[in-house]
């Protein structure tokens, strides 16, 4: 069985790859554990100047948290949801505060918790196939790590989080969510070129610059907002709305694909619909 997260060094960069391509690199316990270990390894290696996070395969960076596994938690009370979601947030915020520059290299779906991991990186480079969004509201959940308000303007954030819409890579670039869009076969080369621009800077300078940037956003209230959202998300996930129950029942009885089709049909969209 392949590892859930792969680690390799390419010159001054550590490449961390979410490795569940058959599940669109959905995040589960093994992936989060592997991500923690890979990030610790990158921080400990002084030869590593930049950390690149990507997904295995062509279809997805990550489609978010594994809803098939999450269905097992569908009837737990709010205080237990708090513990479950705190584990998810820990991994994302570890990436956010990593004391080295980070780049998300995105192909395909980058949704929900996967979108949050990408947003936690300092820079995002996407191919034209990139699809971004947080569709959780459509099955009675919400963003786990509330980073989007700090990356986008208020109105665009409100639109995306109230509708659950996905946007394509070009729209994400216009909105300021990502740095740039490249052709499908140019992603690695573009990321490596960016790494080469960053790598000549001494590591202590990179570390202190990263700390300054993190502290600037946290002075604006980012971490306080994330912690407050954890409390609210625990109550939201435990709300036990009829739509939440039906979605999870379909996941358990007919599988995730059927549940997603049911979800999007309620919104009058074809599965995988995207806004540009």
Write down the catalytic residue from 70, 116, 134, 192: 116
184 is annotated as an active-site residue? no
CA pair distance 272, 261, nearest whole angstrom:
9
70 is annotated as an active-site residue? no
CA pair distance 179, 72, nearest whole angstrom:
37
Q: Which helix (H) or strand (E) holds 256?
A: helix 256-266
Q: Which of 212, 200, 199 is nearest to 49 (CA)?
A: 199
Write down the catalytic residue from 70, 134, 136, 192: 136
Paired with 167 in beta bridges are 132, 275
- Output the six-digit token pair for 152: 């986008």
- Output the six-digit token pair for 99: 């004391």
CA pair distance 242, 98, nearest whole angstrom:
40
- Output the six-digit token pair for 11: 């010159």
Q: Which of 9, 23, 16 is nearest to 62 (CA)?
A: 23
Question: Which residues contact residue 160 at a Cβ distance below 8 angstroms, ignoring those fewer than 6 apart?
Answer: 133, 134, 148, 152, 167
- DSSP letters, 40-100, are HHHHH-TT--EEEEEESSSSEEE--B-HHHHGGGTT--HHHHHHHHHHHHHHHHHHHT-SS
Point out the residues that are catalytic.
116, 136
């Amino acid at each position: 069985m392949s590892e859930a997260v792969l680690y390799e060094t390419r010159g001054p960069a550590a490449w961390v790859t979410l490795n569940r391509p058959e599940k669109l690199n959905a995040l589960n316990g093994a992936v989060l554990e592997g991500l923690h270990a890979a990030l610790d390894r990158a921080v400990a290696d002084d030869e590593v100047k930049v950390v690149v996070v990507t997904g295995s395969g062509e279809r997805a960076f990550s489609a978010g948290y594994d809803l098939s596994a999450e269905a097992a938690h569908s009837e737990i009370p709010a205080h237990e949801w708090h513990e479950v979601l705190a584990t998810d947030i820990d991994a994302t915020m570890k990436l956010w505060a990593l004391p080295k520059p980070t780049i998300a290299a995105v192909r395909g779906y980058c949704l929900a918790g996967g979108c949050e991991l990408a947003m936690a990186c300092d820079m995002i480079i996407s191919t034209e196939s990139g699809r971004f969004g947080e569709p959780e509201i459509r099955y009675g959940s919400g963003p786990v790590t509330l980073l989007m308000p700090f990356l986008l303007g208020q109105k665009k954030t409100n639109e995306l989080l109230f509708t659950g819409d996905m946007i394509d890579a070009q729209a994400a670039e216009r909105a300021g969510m990502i740095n740039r869009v490249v052709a499908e076969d140019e992603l690695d080369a573009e990321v490596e070129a960016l790494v080469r621009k960053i790598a000549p800077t001494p590591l202590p300078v990179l570390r202190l610059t990263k700390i300054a940037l993190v502290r600037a956003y946290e002075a604006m209230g980012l971490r306080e907002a994330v912690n407050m959202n954890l409390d609210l998300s625990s109550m939201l996930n435990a709300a036990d709305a009829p739509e939440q129950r039906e979605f999870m029942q379909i996941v358990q009885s007919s599988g995730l694909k059927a549940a997603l089709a049911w979800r999007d049909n309620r919104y009058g969209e074809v599965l995988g619909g995207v806004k540009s």
